[in-house]
Amino acid sequence: MGVEWKEHILDMLEARRYKELKEELENNMYPVDLADLMEGFSQKQLVMVFRLLAKEEAAETFSYMDSDLRELLINGLTDSELEEIMEEMYLDDTVDVLEEMPANVVDRLLMATDEETRQQINQLLQYPEDSAGSVMNVDYIALRKEMTVAESILKIRQVGLNRETIYTCYVTEKRKLIGSVDVKELLTTSESKKIEEIMDTNMLYGRTTDDQEDVAGIIRKYGLIALPIVDHEMCMVGIVTVDDAMLVLQEEATEDISIMAGVNPSEESYFGTTVVEHVKSRLPWLLFLMLSATVTQMIMNSYEAALAVMPQLAGFIPMLTGTGGNCGSQSSTLVIRGLTVGEIEFHDLFKVIWKEIRIAVCISLVLSVVNGIRIVLMGQGDMLMALTIGLTMACTVVIAKVVGCTLPLVAKKVGLDPAVMATPLISTLVDISTISVYFAIVSTVFQL
Residues 159-198 that bind a copy of itself (CB under 8 A): 160-161, 166-167, 183-184, 187-188
188 contacts: CB under 8 Å, gap ≥ 6: none
Closest separation between CB of residue 66 and a copy of itself, Å? 11
* Phi-psi group of 40: left, alpha or beta (phi > 0 → left; psi -120 to 50 → alpha; rest → beta): left
- Answer for which of 10, 242, 353, 445 binds a copy of itself (CB under 8 A) is 242
Q: Does 371 bind a copy of itself (CB under 8 A)?
A: yes
Q: Does 1 bind a copy of itself (CB under 8 A)?
A: no
Closest separation between CB of residue 370 and a copy of itself, Å? 6
Closest separation between CB of residue 80 and a copy of itself, Å? 28
Rounded to the nearest angstrom, the gap between the alpha carbon of residue 379 and the centroid of all alpha carbons in its chain is: 49
Show the site string, 132-161: x = touches a copy of itself by CB under 8 A, - = not: ---------------------x--xx--xx
Q: Does 377 bind a copy of itself (CB under 8 A)?
A: no
Distances (CA, A) of 109 to 77, 139, 235: 11, 20, 29
- Secondary structure (DSSP) of 271-290: TTS-HHHHHHHHHHHHHHHH
Q: Does 442 bind a copy of itself (CB under 8 A)?
A: no
Closest separation between CB of residue 190 and a copy of itself, Å? 10
Q: How far apart, in whole angstroms, are the C-alpha atoms of residue 25 and residue 40?
A: 18
Closest separation between CB of residue 191 and a copy of itself, Å? 10
Q: Does 8 bind a copy of itself (CB under 8 A)?
A: no
Reported as half-sphere exposure (CB side, CA atoms, 13 A), residue 169 has a value of: 28
Which window, 9-17, 89-97, 105-113, 299-307, contacts a copy of itself (CB under 8 A)? 299-307
Residues 222-241 that bind a copy of itself (CB under 8 A): 222-225
Closest separation between CB of residue 108 and a copy of itself, Å? 28
Closer residue to a copy of itself, CB minimum distance, 74 or 421: 421
Closer residue to a copy of itself, CB minimum distance, 142 or 249: 249
Count of residues near a copy of itself by CB under 8 A: 112
* Phi-psi group of 274: left, alpha or beta (phi > 0 → left; psi -120 to 50 → alpha; rest → beta): beta
User: Dihedrals φ, ψ of 130, to 5°?
Assistant: 70, 10
Q: Does 359 bind a copy of itself (CB under 8 A)?
A: yes
Q: Does 409 bind a copy of itself (CB under 8 A)?
A: no
- Answer for which of 129, 276, 414, 447 binds a copy of itself (CB under 8 A) is 276
- Answer for which of 54, 234, 235, 261 binds a copy of itself (CB under 8 A) is 261
260 contacts: CB under 8 Å, gap ≥ 6: 333, 336, 419, 422, 423
Q: Does 427 bind a copy of itself (CB under 8 A)?
A: yes
Sign, CA torsion 65/68/72/78: positive
Residues 18-77 that bind a copy of itself (CB under 8 A): 27-28, 30, 32
* Phi-psi group of 417: left, alpha or beta (phi > 0 → left; psi -120 to 50 → alpha; rest → beta): beta
Closest separation between CB of residue 351 and a copy of itself, Å? 7
Q: Does 380 bind a copy of itself (CB under 8 A)?
A: yes
- Answer for which of 238, 262, 372, 418 binds a copy of itself (CB under 8 A) is 262
Q: How far apart, in whole angstroms, are the C-alpha atoms of residue 413 and residue 429?
A: 20
- Secondary structure (DSSP) of 151-203: HHHHHHHHHGGG-S--SEEEEEETTEEEEEEEHHHHHTS-TTSBHHHH-BSS-
20 contacts: CB under 8 Å, gap ≥ 6: 12
